[in-house]
Chains A and B, each alone.
Chain A
């Protein structure tokens, strides 16, 4: 797959969203008194910037905290620590009412198009409800807006009166996209938005997302475990491991010159057709450690092929090795 037109270099665009040391711990309660006995460290001190009109991919194996990161940004999970700055305003401590303003600007597209729509609600009504909650439009204007939305995502007007079970997976995902763009947001989190779809449908949905991005100057946080899709769709990539950011850079840098051994291992796992025979695959042994009891030092040292003593004792710093190319490894 050839990468789509890349956005202008990040430095020229405006920062839309900034995360500063964002942490999300889930307390483990136990015993008779339900005391906190420990924490599952789902997201551990993530800092990043998302620029206007760009797609930032977030990759990592299942359980690495990428979905939790998305939900935490949106406020669906309570933040444990850190700052979330959206449009130059800190939003992590806002009250529910003040937050409503930002709800319009940040939306989410969910993974499972079969589960993300209420099976007992007509598609038109589901979209209408968004306008009902956030605008004061009269009924006929709302209906027109919904029909426009349906057309925008490539669905027919007739879809208005149908129930979700009458649609295919790809069509449902389009409905999910319509719902997400209904309020003209600036920022959309795509949580594995195409993972549940067939490859051919994936391409269509990705194309739709790209078109919408150009049209409305949207920014995406594109959470995925599919590196191929990320390479095709995103401008920059964040690689996560066990709740930690291990590497971040442009798609080109990450895919051509990965610095972190975990990224290298991930990339070597992508199946690629080649006439020269397969490249050596870096195999990681063992499982991901328990996020409730992460290893000391570098979180990756238990599985890292090049780990040394220093990795066990010291946590590597988040260093900018090249322009806009960060990595957390002692040997990068």
Chain B
């Protein structure tokens, strides 16, 4: 036959279909804290993207004539540090580093965690071994594990991302495994098996799309932890090395000037706090909006 049936778009259907996403967004936007979180996150992303356009100085350019200027100084509204570097520029470029490290760490963690969780939840035989490995990872305190990994790999921001991702894997794997266990028993999975669908197809096409909500929430909350951990590791000298404008490293360097120039520790501290707060409340809002008990049927 030569005739082909073209897909028929139906305005009315599309509206209905979009209703689920619209109601989810509405829920999210009815939560004032979540909006605040979202605004801060968006601002930060914009800041990171347009960093060169909104900063008047090179974040690593020294100007010893103008060192330790306080906040609201002329030309340096957040002041300068002991080398005369503009704090605002460093904060903006620091946002870039935090977000990139956060995204990389969370993505790697998700890849590992979702894979392990899917396998463990789906195959009964793999469940025990995988979960015991996960328990093993869990038994280390997070920072200690990260330090261990960095001690092996060496200090650099990429290694910080890897360390944080490895430390995210067990939590993610547990969340995914739990969700898989509940979805796996649904009749539509049984139906796919009776159709002769391969395990991979069932896992990727039928289980994964039905457990996106907890994964999204996990990823958002984990961004906050990842950014905080990056700062913590850099503060300890295990992450970003000077003169990289990383927030944790900035606090660490500012310590020596606590009394003469307190803004060197306070400003990056506030930046970290705001970011972590923003991702946390956004994650909370998303969790409420994506409530799995919500009736999507």
Please encode chain A, from 91 to 135, with 1 for each CB lying within 8 Å of some chain B CB and 0 for all others.
Answer: 000000001100110011011101111111100000001100110
Closest approach, in angstroms, between the C-beta of B13 and any C-beta of chain A? 6
B209 contacts A121, CB within 8 Å? yes
**With contact pairs A100-B196, A118-B206 given, residues A166 and B191 touching in the complex (Cβ less than 8 Å):** no
Which of B65-73, B96-104, B182-190, B223-231 sits within the interface?
B182-190
Q: Is B152 an interface residue (CB 8 A)?
A: no
Per the bound structure, the CA–CA distance linking A164 and B20 in Å amounts to 13
Bound form: Cα–Cα A120–B192 in Å: 14
Q: Is the CB of A103 within 8 A of B195?
A: yes
- Can you name the residue of chain A whose Cβ is closest to the Cβ of B17? A163
- In the complex, what residue of chain A is closest to B3 when comparing beta carbons? A144
Which stretch of A57-65, A154-162, A261-269 is in the interface? A154-162
| Interface set, chain B 175-223, CB cutoff 8 A to A | 186-188, 190-197, 201, 205-206, 209-210
- Which B residues lie within 8 Å of A107 (CB)? 194-195
Taking CB as reference atom, which chain B residue is nearest A141? Answer: B1
**B1, B4, B191, B196: the one within 8 Å of A179 (CB):** B191
Query: Which residues of chain B are within 8 angstroms of A5 by Cβ–Cβ distance?
Result: none
Could you give, for residues 143-181 of chain A, a 1 whenever the CB lies within 8 Å of some chain B CB and a 0 otherwise? 110010000000001101111111000000000100100
List B contacts of A104 (CB < 8 A).
196
Cβ of A74 under 8 Å from chain B: yes
Q: A130 to B9: give the CA distance in the assembly, Å.
A: 23
| Partner among A100, A115, A143, A157 whose Cβ is within 8 Å of the Cβ of B187 | A115
- Residue in chain B with minimal CB distance to A176: B191
Question: A121 with B206: in contact, given A74-B194, A111-B187, A161-B7 (CB under 8 Å)?
Answer: yes
Query: From B194, which residue of chain A is reached at the shortest CB distance?
Result: A108
Instruction: Give the distance in Å from the alpha carbon of A139 to the alpha carbon of B82 in the complex.
Output: 66
Residues of A within 8 A of B205 (CB): 121, 129
Q: Is the CB of B187 within 8 A of A110?
A: yes
B132 interface residue, CB < 8 Å from A? no
Asked whether A103 lies within 8 Å of B297 as measured between CB atoms, the reply is: no
A119 with B194: CB separation less than 8 A: no
Does any Cβ of B come within 8 Å of A140's Cβ?
yes
Nearest neighbor of B9 in chain A, beta-carbon distance: A161
Chain A nearest CB, measured from B115 CB (Å): 20
Partner of A140, one of B5, B194, B196, B201: B5
Contact of B8 with A by CB under 8 A = yes
A111 contact set on B, CB distance < 8 A: 187
| Interface size bracket, B side | 20 to 34
Residue A76 lies at the interface, judged by CB distance under 8 Å to chain B:
yes
- On chain B, the residues within 8 Å of A108 by CB distance are 191, 194
Q: Is B10 an interface residue (CB 8 A)?
A: yes
- A-B residue pair count with CB separations less than 8 angstroms: 87
Cβ contacts under 8 Å, A119 to chain B: 188, 210, 296-297
Which chain B residues lie closer than 8 Å to A176 at the CB level?
Answer: 191
Chain A hits for B196, CB < 8 A: 99-100, 103-104, 133-134
Task: Tell me the nearest residue of chain B to A172, going by C-beta.
Answer: B297
What is the CA–CA distance of A104 and B158 in the complex, to the nearest angstrom?
A: 50
Contacts of A121 in B (CB 8 A): 205-206, 209
In the complex, are the beta carbons of B206 and A157 less than 8 A apart? no
A165 and B297 contacting across the interface, CB-CB below 8 Å:
yes
* B210 close to A118 (CB less than 8 A): yes
B210→A140 contact, CB < 8 A: no
Residues of A within 8 A of B296 (CB): 119, 165
B125 proximal to A (CB < 8 A): no
Measured CA separation A103–B190 after assembly (Å): 13
- Complex interface: chain B residues within 8 A of A129 (CB): 195, 197, 205
Which of B10, B192, B196: most chain A CB closer than 10 A? B196
The one of A117, A166, A179 in contact with B195, judged by C-beta atoms closer than 8 angstroms, is A179
Minimum Cβ distance to chain B for residue A64 (Å): 20
Once the chains bind, are A116 and B8 in contact (CB under 8 Å)?
Answer: no
Cross-chain contact B191 with A144 (CB below 8 angstroms) = no
Shortest Cβ gap from A131 to chain B (Å): 11
Across the interface, B8 reaches (CB within 8 A) one of A115, A118, A160, namely: A160
Most buried by A among B7, B190, B205: B190
Task: List, in ascending order, chain A residues with CB within 8 A of B195's CB.
Answer: 103, 107, 129-130, 133, 179
CB atoms of A166 and B13 under 8 A apart: yes
In the bound complex, do residue A133 and residue B206 qualify as a contact, i.e. CB atoms below 8 Å apart? no
The digit string for B92-116, where 1 denotes a CB below 8 A from any CB of A, is 0000000000000000000000000
> Which of chain A's residues 193-246 have a Cβ closer than 8 Å to chain B?
none
Q: Known contacts A121-B209, A130-B195: does B13 contact A116 (CB below 8 Å)?
A: no
Asked whether B186 lies within 8 Å of A161 as measured between CB atoms, the reply is no
A143-B5 contact given A115-B186, A133-B201, A165-B297, CB 8 Å threshold: yes
A308 to B206, CA, bound (A): 54
Contact A144 B5 (CB under 8 A): yes
Task: Give every chain A residue within 8 A of B190 (Cβ-Cβ).
Answer: 76, 110, 116
Whole-angstrom distance between the alpha carbons of A59 and B197 in the complex?
A: 29
| Inter-chain pairs besides A118-B209, A118-B210, A179-B195, 20 sampled, C-beta below 8 Å | A74-B194, A103-B194, A103-B195, A108-B194, A110-B191, A114-B297, A116-B188, A119-B210, A119-B296, A121-B206, A130-B195, A133-B195, A133-B197, A133-B201, A161-B9, A161-B13, A163-B17, A165-B297, A176-B191, A179-B191
Q: What are 12 A-B residue pairs whose CB atoms fall within 8 Å in the complex?
A: A104-B196, A110-B190, A116-B187, A116-B188, A119-B188, A119-B210, A133-B195, A133-B201, A162-B17, A165-B296, A166-B17, A179-B191
In order of increasing CB-CB distance, the 9 nearest A-B pairs are: A103-B196, A115-B187, A120-B209, A116-B187, A140-B4, A165-B297, A108-B194, A118-B188, A110-B187
